[in-house]
Amino acid sequence: MVVDRSRRRCLLCDRPFTGRAFTCRECAERYREGPVPDDVLRRFYTQVDIEYPEWANTYGNYNPPRALLGYLDSIDRARSILELGAGGGFLLEELWRSGFRELTGSDITTSALREIQRRTGDLHVVGADAESLPFVDGAFDIVITSDVIEHLVRVDMHLADVARILRPGGQYLLKTPSRRPAELYYRLRGLYDHHIWHPSMFSPKELRQAFARHGFDVSFLPVGELTAAQIRKVPTGIGKAVFRLLPLHRLPVALHPHMEIVATKRN
Ligand SMILES: [Zn+2]
């Protein structure tokens, strides 16, 4: 996420420190072994929006799920779609432009909800916790999340609830980092607090298994190129040029920096 080393304030305790992380080492260590309490996480993300607005998806469209958008292009426009963790509403806006009308967006932070409402005035906007969804069974044809599940503490609760609100044969379209390349990157960059902001990361195999537990079959979409946010993380100069040209579609899926999948709920 944040790559420039600088003097900054810990988002949890407000003490100054020097580094690339969001929190000081003491706060990172405090939550190393167990889940981060919900109220602490809420404070953390609210502070991210305030301290690093250029990095928070609420205010910038840095990570479009390109493979998912390509897949959605082939989908019947009458399908009902729910996006969870919709951030600033950029993806919903793009779906609206491409002809989808049965769109619902939701997010947990009030700043995100305001921004979605502002950008996409005529859509349904619902405040929702992705682990406990306020929708009836079988309410949607498609659920989408982009860079969301890695932030969730209780992914199994989330998947159970998504399975519940999808109709039989419905699909969960999802983009998330790939655990091993991500952990390697965080270690190299001194992001010792990633267990706070990415508590739930998966390898391709782990993701397939998690979905199988909730009655989904998973297929991985080819991921062709790095997004702008991923390129920005690469060290400057020649590294950036090389990374732009990398033929990622030829790498095994376990080495891709992120995964985009279509998970279909079995009938
Ligand atoms: Zn701290």
- Quote the ligand 1 centre to 247 CA distance (angstroms): 40
Residue 16: strand pairing partners: 9
Task: Return the percentage of the chain with pLDDT > 70, whole number.
Answer: 82
Q: pLDDT (tens digit, 9 = 90+) per residue, 152-188?
A: 889 999 999 999 999 999 999 999 999 999 999 888 8
Residues forming CATH 3.40.50.150 domain(s) in the chain: 66-265
Instruction: Indicate the pTM of the whole model.
Output: 0.82
More confidently predicted of 136 and 113: 136
Q: What is the pLDDT of residues 119-153, one digit of tens each?
A: 766 677 787 777 788 999 999 999 999 988 998 88
Q: What is the pLDDT of residue 2?
A: 47
Is the pLDDT score of 243 beyond 70? no
| Residue bearing tokens 């944040």 | 2
Q: In the prediction, which pLDDT does 111 show?
A: 72
Cα 41 to ligand 1 centroid, rounded to whole Å: 13
**Gap from CA of 157 to ligand 1 centroid (Å):** 29
CATH assignment of 66-265? 3.40.50.150
CA of residue 3 to ligand 1 center, whole Å: 18
Nearest 10 degrees: CA dihedral of 81, 87, 92, 94? -140
